[in-house]
Amino acid sequence: MRYPFRLTLLFLLGFYFSAKSQQIPQYTQWFWHQFAINPAHAGIKPCADIKTLYRAQWVGLDGAPNSGFFTFSTPLYTKRKKYLSARQGIGAKFERDQIGPFTANRFNVSYAGHFNFSKDTRLSIGISAGFQQWVFDKTKTTTLVADPLVAESNSMIAPDASLGFWWNGKNYYMGLAIHQLARSSWGDIGDEARFKFHTFLNGGYRWVLNDNFTMIPSALLRLPPKGPVSVDLNLLFDFRNQFGFGAGYRNTDAIMAYFNVRIMEQLTIGYSFDYVLSQIGRNQHYTHEFSLGFSTCKSQGKSKTACPLFE
């Protein structure tokens, strides 16, 4: 590996930790995009599921992060051969994360098995594998004086893998996902210069308030290898499976608000806003997320308070 690229990777690592972030991006709308963080969700629904999201972080700040993904998930078998027999699913995810002159591209395919212990309780286990590419673009950098250490663009490609577990009942769910299983080395930077495990723990519970409204409190715990632990606490309200809205708090940097609307039954549009509480937010650099989803699932015969997440 050439020395300029080693230097830029070290700079990237330092920037990420100083910004209280991670080697992988975080998202506010994670509860509507479970497959994006946990491969155990591949094919968990009896229909195809396509979703995409774009996150613009700290808008107005030069070189600020912007991230996004595209996911596709579908079951391999929609009908059970026997009552409560296991089902399988597959999926794919492409993710792009950019910060200043650095860009990370990731592509993974996923496989999951779904095992029912009763009509309403299920254990899902999934694994994803693929690759990630890290790119440094010298055209997006400037120096006060000519610097030979920032002389050229460069990139590296490394394997990537994740493992996920999911357990849900009729009104609750719990998930565990471990990312960066490959722990790929960053060449000859040093023994500790590598991608490291990132762990996600999340869960939620659904309360039926009346014939139209449900309330779902949820939480996500992010455990990076270094830096502060990040916790999202969210309270979501859903109206007849047509409109969802809520608010949340992230202990490291933000108060969040979000909504999601369903159009023509199968298309959903989502938006979230992060009011940044850290010093970066004092300059009014806020964060926005926009999402789209399409599902082939039909709702005929289902309760207006049924949650597709638990089916």
> pLDDT (tens digit, 9 = 90+) per residue, 133-160?
888 776 666 655 555 555 566 778 889 9
Rounded CA-CA distance 248/230 in Å is 13
3-state secondary structure of 25: coil
CB contact at 8 A, 18 and 166 = no
Tell me the C-alpha distance between 41 and 61, whole Å.
35
CA distance 208 to 216: 9
Give the torsion sign (CA, 274, 176, 229, 129): negative
What pLDDT sits at residue 7?
Answer: 39
How far, in Å, CA of 177 to CA of 166, rounded? 9
Residue 298 has pLDDT above 80, yes or no: no
Least confident of 201-215, 228-242, 255-269, 293-307: 293-307
Q: What is the pLDDT of residue 189?
A: 43
Torsion angles phi and psi, residue 242, rounded to 5 = -115, -30
Backbone φ, ψ for residue 305 (5° rounding): -105, 10
124: nearest Cα among 72, 76, 163, 78: 163
- Residue found by looking up tokens 């996911």 in the block: 71
Note the pLDDT of residue 135: 84
51-55, 80-84, 112-116, 241-245: least confident range = 80-84
From the list 205, 215, 173, 208, the residue with the least C-alpha distance to 303 is 208
Q: Residue type for 94, please?
A: F
Domains of the chain, start order:
3-310 (2.40.160.40)
Tokens read off for 92? 């794919």
pTM: 0.84
Amino acid identity of residue 221, one-letter, is: L
Residue 167 has a pLDDT of: 96
